[in-house]
C-alpha cells in the first residue's frame, strides 16, 4: 500500500515522537477506554471516599479535554493542541481523580510549550513530561498518600527515565541505539502496570482506582504511539484491563470480599462535603486559597496554569465539614457545586433534643436548625405524630441517596440551586447536588456529576429558571438522539454525551427550593421522575413566601408582617436572613410567632420557627410559612 493510501485508510504510523495528531488520537482513545471501563474503575473506588465515582470523574474530565480539542482547527500544532486539552480538562475536572488527570495534562502542555519545536515532542521531552506529571500531581495534593495515582505516576516516570538511559541517550549509560517515543511510552506503561499491582492490599480497595485510571491512560498512549490502534487493537490496554479484572475478581472471592477492602479505607477522608468550583484568580491568590483550604479540610487540590500576567483559571477541590468556609475571599468563583459525602458523628446522633431559640448574631451568623428537624416536621404533619425515625440523617433513610450508588436505571437526580451560601449544607444533606450562584454551565456540571439519565432542577429565582432551561437545551443539543441501552434492552447509566432528561421545577425562591429538596430527600430511587417532580412541586406550592427589603426588613416590621401572615393551621415558619439583615430579626420574628400562638392558639409553642443565616444578597429577609 502506498503512503497516500495508508494515510487515506486512517492508519496511525509508529511514531518516533509525539505530535498533535498523536495527542488527539491518544486522548480520544483514552476517552473511549474510560467510557468502557467506567463501571470497573468505579467499583474500585474506596479512597479517599468510597463513593464509586473515580471512573465517572475521569471520563467526564477526558471528555471535556476532547471537546476542547475538537474546537481547534486541523492545523493546530502540538503546543496549541496540548494547551487546549489541558484547559478543557481543568474546566471539566470532576472529583479528586479528575483534578489529578487535569493536572497531568497541564504538566504535559507545559513541557510541550518548552520544546524547541512546537510541532513535536522528542523522546527526551516525553520523559520530561512523565517526570513533570509525577512531580506536579504530587504537589497538587495537600496530603500526598503513597500507593495511589501519585505513586503510579512516579513509577511510570522512573521507568521512562530508565528506558531513556538504557537506550544510550545523551547523558545516559546504555549502549543501545537512539531512543524512540514508542520505547519510552512502552516502558512507562509497564512501570504503571507494575505500580498498580503493588497498590493491592494497601487499604485502597483491590487496587487504587485513580492509579488504575492513570495506568489505562498511559497504556493507551503507548498503544497510540505504536500505531496498534489502527485495526482497533490495543494490546497494552487490553492486558491492563484484564489485569484489573483479575485483581477485582480475586478480591471479590477473598476474605470479606470487596466490602472488607472498602471498610479499611472508609475513614480516609473526614470531610462531610465535597466542594468543587472554577476560580479565576492570580497565582498568588490561588496559592493562598490552597493554604486556607488545607486548614479546613482534606483532599485539597487547586490546579491550573496562570498566563504571562500571572492570572489563570483554577479547578478547586476539597472535602470539608464547612463548605461555606471553602469559598474564596479573592478572585471569582464559578460553577460552585457541593456534594454530601457522608454524615458526621454529630449528624448521626439519633436522639433529637430541643435546641435554643434561633437568634441571629451581629456578624451575620445565626442558629441554623438542621435538615433533620425540617424532615421531622414534614413527616409529623403526614403521620400526625412525632416519629423518632424521621429524625435520622438523610443517608439513613430507606431508599435514601447513596453517594456510591451511581447510574441506577430508575434513579432520579436532584440539582438544588441557591444564592444563599448559608443554605448549602442543608440542601446538600438532602442528597441533592447544590449549585451556588447558578448559571447554565454550573447546572450542566452538576447534572453531569449526578451521572443519571433523569434529573430534576430546583431553581431559586426566575433568572436561575431561565439558566436551567438553557442548560436543558444545551444538554439536548449535545446528546445523542437515542437512550443508551444495554444488551438486554434495559436502560443503563448515561455515558458522557448521552441524553439526559432535565426537568425544571417551579420553585422560585430559596425557601421553596429548601422545602422541595427536603420533600424529595430519600425518594430518588423509588418515586420515579413524575413522582419526584410532583412531590417537589407540591411541597413548593404549600409554602407561602414573602420577601422583605429596606424598611420592611427592619426587625419590628418583620415581626408585624409575621403577625399579619400567620393562620391558625400553620405549623412552621422559616426565616432566611440575607447578608444585610439586621441582627435582631431572628429573635423578634421568633417572639412574634410565639406571641401570636399564645393569643390565638393558647399554645406559645404551636408553630415552630426555623432561622437560617442564608447570606444571600437579596432579599434581606425571606419569610416562609407552611
Q: What is the mean pLDDT of residues 243-254?
A: 68
pLDDT recorded at residue 374: 52
Comparing 60-69, 210-219, 281-290, 365-374, which segment has the lowest mean pLDDT?
365-374
Q: 352, 373 in Cβ contact below 8 A? A: yes
Q: What is d(CA 453, CA 445) in angstroms, rounded to the nearest whole number?
A: 14
Fold of 18-169+176-246: 1.25.40
| 498's grid cell | 448521552
pLDDT higher at 359 or 210 = 210
Closest-CA residue to 497 (of 471, 477, 470): 477
The answer to whether residue 512 scores a pLDDT higher than 90 is yes
What is the C-alpha separation between 268 and 143, in angstroms, rounded? 11
Distance CA 116, CA 130 (A): 18
Distance CA 540, CA 286 (A): 39
Q: What is the mean pLDDT of residues 68-83?
A: 94
Domain 273-340 falls in which CATH fold? Alpha-Beta Plaits (3.30.70)
- Residue 579 pLDDT > 50, yes or no? yes
Asked if residues 449 and 432 have their Cβ atoms less than 8 Å apart, the reply is: no
Q: What is the average per-residue pLDDT within 152-178?
A: 76
Q: What is the pLDDT of residue 4?
A: 40
Mean pLDDT of the chain: 79
Q: pLDDT at position 142, please?
A: 76
- The pLDDT of residue 381 is 52
How much helix, strand and coil, in percent to the nearest 5, is found in the chain? 50, 15, 35
Residue 254: pLDDT above 50?
no
pLDDT of residue 383 exceeding 70, the answer is no
**455 has which bridge partners?**
413, 502
User: Quick one: 403 exposed, middle or buried, by C-beta within 10 A (0-12, 13-18, 19+)?
Assistant: middle
CB 222 within 8 A of CB 190: no
Q: Which of the four pLDDT bands, split at 50, 70 and 90, describes residue 129?
A: very high
With contact defined as beta carbons under 8 Å apart, do 40 and 73 qualify?
A: no
The pLDDT tens digits for 392-411 are: 333 333 333 444 444 455 68
When computed from its CA atoms, the radius of gyration of the chain, rounded to whole angstroms, is: 27
What single string gives the DSSP state of each residue in 336-389? EEEEE----TTTT-------PPP---TTS------HHHHHHHHHHHHHTS--GG
Task: Give residue 525's pLDDT.
Answer: 65
Q: Tell me which of 65-79, 249-263, 603-617 is least confident.
A: 249-263
Q: What is the DSSP string of 163-185?
A: HHHHTT-TT----S----HHHHH
Distances (CA, A) of 273 to 93, 99, 520: 17, 17, 20
* Cβ atoms 53, 216 nearer than 8 A: no
Helix (H) or strand (E) holding 585: helix 585-596
Each residue of 134-153: pLDDT tens digit?
A: 999 998 887 787 888 899 99
- Assign 255 a pLDDT band (cuts: 50, 70, 90): very low
Q: CA–CA separation, 528 vs 537, rounded Å?
A: 14
Q: Is the pLDDT of residue 104 over 50?
A: yes
- In terms of pLDDT, which residue wins out, 237 or 433? 433
| pLDDT confidence bin for 80, thresholds 50/70/90 | very high
Mean pLDDT for the stretch of residues 347-361: 36
With a pLDDT cut of 70, the percent of the chain lying above it is: 74
SS3 102: helix
Strand partners for 302: 316
Which of 434 and 268 is assigned the larger pLDDT? Answer: 434
- Find the helix or strand (DSSP H, E) in which 301 lies: strand 297-306
- Residue percentage of the chain with pLDDT more than 90: 49
pLDDT-derived band at 434 (thresholds 50, 70, 90) equals very high
The per-residue pLDDT for 501 is 87
Give the up-direction half-sphere exposure of residue 536: CA atoms within 13 A in the CB hemisphere: 34
pLDDT in tens, 19-48: 999 999 999 999 999 998 888 888 776 655
Q: What is the pLDDT of residue 16?
A: 65
Per-residue pLDDT band for 368 (boundaries 50, 70, 90) equals very low
pLDDT at residue 623 greater than cutoff 50: yes
Q: What CATH number matches the domain at 413-481+499-542, 3.30.2010, 1.25.10, 3.40.50, 3.10.590?
A: 3.40.50
Global model pTM greater than 0.85:
no
pLDDT digits (tens, 9 = 90+) for 303-315: 888 877 888 899 9
| Per-residue pLDDT band at 50 (split at 50, 70, 90) | low
Report, as an integer, the average pLDDT of 471-486: 64
Give the pLDDT band of residue 379 (cuts 50, 70, 90): low
Confidence (pLDDT) at 196: 87
Position 257 pLDDT exceeds 50: no
**pLDDT at position 614 over 90:** yes
Alpha-carbon gap, residue 598 to 181, rounded angstroms: 82
Spatial strand order of the sheet with 273-282 comes to 297-306, 311-320, 273-282, 332-340, 433-436, 413-418, 454-458, 501-504
Q: What is the reported pLDDT for 239?
A: 85
Q: Where are the domains of the chain?
A: 18-169+176-246, 273-340, 413-481+499-542, 544-625
Q: Within its chain, how far is the Cα of 358 from the centroid?
A: 33
Q: Decide: 282 and 331 in contact? Cβ < 8 Å.
A: yes
Alpha carbons 32 and 573: distance in angstroms, whole number: 51
Sign of the alpha-carbon torsion through 491, 495, 498, 502: positive
Amino acid at each position: 500500500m502506498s503512503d497516500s493510501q495508508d494515510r487515506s485508510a486512517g492508519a496511525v504510523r509508529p511514531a518516533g515522537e509525539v505530535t498533535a495528531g498523536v495527542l488527539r488520537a491518544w486522548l480520544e482513545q483514552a476517552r473511549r477506554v474510560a467510557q468502557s471501563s467506567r463501571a470497573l474503575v468505579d467499583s474500585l473506588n474506596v479512597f479517599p471516599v468510597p463513593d464509586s465515582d473515580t471512573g465517572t470523574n475521569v471520563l467526564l474530565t477526558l471528555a471535556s479535554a476532547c471537546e476542547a480539542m475538537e474546537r481547534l482547527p486541523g492545523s493546530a500544532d502540538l503546543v496549541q493542541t496540548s494547551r487546549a486539552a489541558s484547559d478543557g480538562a481543568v474546566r471539566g475536572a470532576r472529583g479528586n481523580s479528575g483534578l489529578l488527570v487535569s493536572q497531568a495534562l497541564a504538566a504535559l502542555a507545559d513541557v510541550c510549550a518548552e520544546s524547541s519545536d512546537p510541532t513535536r515532542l522528542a523522546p527526551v521531552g516525553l520523559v520530561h513530561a512523565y517526570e513533570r506529571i509525577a512531580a506536579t500531581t504530587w504537589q497538587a495534593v495537600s496530603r500526598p498518600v503513597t500507593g495511589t495515582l501519585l505513586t503510579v505516576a512516579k513509577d511510570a516516570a522512573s521507568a521512562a527515565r530508565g528506558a531513556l538511559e538504557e537506550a544510550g541517550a545523551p547523558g545516559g549509560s546504555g549502549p543501545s541505539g537512539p531512543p524512540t517515543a514508542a520505547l519510552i511510552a512502552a516502558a512507562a506503561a509497564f512501570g504503571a502496570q507494575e505500580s498498580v499491582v503493588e497498590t493491592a492490599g494497601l487499604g485502597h480497595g483491590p487496587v487504587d482506582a485513580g492509579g488504575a485510571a492513570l495506568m489505562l491512560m498511559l497504556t493507551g498512549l503507548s498503544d497510540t504511539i505504536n500505531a496498534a490502534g489502527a485495526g482497533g487493537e490495543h494490546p497494552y490496554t487490553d492486558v491492563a484491563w484484564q489485569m484489573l479484572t483479575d485483581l477485582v475478581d480475586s478480591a471479590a472471592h477473598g476474605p470479606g470480599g470487596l466490602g472488607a477492602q472498602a471498610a479499611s479505607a472508609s475513614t480516609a477522608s473526614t470531610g462531610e462535603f465535597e466542594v468543587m468550583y472554577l476560580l479565576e484568580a492570580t497565582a498568588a491568590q490561588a496559592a493562598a486559597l490552597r493554604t486556607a483550604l488545607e486548614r479546613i479540610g482534606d483532599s485539597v487540590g487547586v490546579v491550573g496554569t496562570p498566563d504571562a500576567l500571572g492570572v489563570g483559571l483554577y479547578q478547586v477541590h476539597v472535602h470539608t465539614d464547612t463548605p461555606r468556609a471553602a469559598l474564596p475571599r479573592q478572585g471569582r468563583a464559578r460553577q460552585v457545586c457541593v456534594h454530601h459525602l457522608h454524615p458526621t458523628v454529630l449528624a448521626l446522633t439519633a436522639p433529637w433534643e430541643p435546641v435554643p431559640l434561633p437568634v441571629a448574631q451581629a456578624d451575620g451568623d445565626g442558629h441554623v436548625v438542621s435538615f433533620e428537624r425540617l424532615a421531622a416536621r414534614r413527616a409529623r404533619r403526614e403521620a400526625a405524630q412525632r416519629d423518632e425515625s424521621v429524625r435520622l440523617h438523610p443517608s439513613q433513610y430507606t431508599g435514601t441517596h447513596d453517594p456510591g450508588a451511581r447510574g441506577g436505571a430508575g434513579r432520579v437526580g436532584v440539582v438544588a440551586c441557591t444564592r444563599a451560601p448559608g443554605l448549602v449544607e442543608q440542601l446538600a444533606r438532602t442528597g441533592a447536588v447544590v449549585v451556588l450562584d447558578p448559571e447554565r454551565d454550573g447546572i450542566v456540571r452538576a447534572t453531569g456529576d449526578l451521572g443519571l439519565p433523569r434529573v430534576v432542577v430546583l431553581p431559586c429565582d426566575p433568572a436561575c429558571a431561565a439558566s436551567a432551561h438553557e442548560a436543558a437545551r444545551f444538554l439536548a443539543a449535545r446528546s445523542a438522539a437515542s437512550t443508551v441501552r444495554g444488551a438486554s434492552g434495559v436502560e443503563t447509566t448515561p455515558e458522557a454525551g448521552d441524553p439526559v432528561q432535565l426537568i425544571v421545577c417551579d420553585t422560585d425562591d430559596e425557601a421553596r427550593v429548601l422545602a422541595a429538596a427536603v420533600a424529595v430527600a430519600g425518594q430518588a430511587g423509588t418515586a420515579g421522575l413524575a413522582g419526584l417532580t410532583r412531590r417537589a412541586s407540591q411541597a413548593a406550592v404549600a409554602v407561602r413566601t414573602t420577601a422583605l427589603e429596606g424598611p420592611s426588613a427592619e426587625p419590628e416590621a418583620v415581626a408585624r408582617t409575621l403577625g399579619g401572615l400567620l393562620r391558625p393551621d400553620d405549623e412552621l415558619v422559616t426565616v432566611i436572613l440575607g447578608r444585610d439583615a439586621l441582627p435582631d430579626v431572628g429573635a423578634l420574628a421568633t417572639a412574634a410567632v410565639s406571641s401570636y400562638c399564645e393569643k390565638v392558639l393558647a399554645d406559645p409553642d404551636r408553630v415552630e420557627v426555623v432561622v437560617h443565616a442564608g447570606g444571600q444578597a437579596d432579599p434581606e429577609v425571606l419569610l416562609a410559612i407552611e
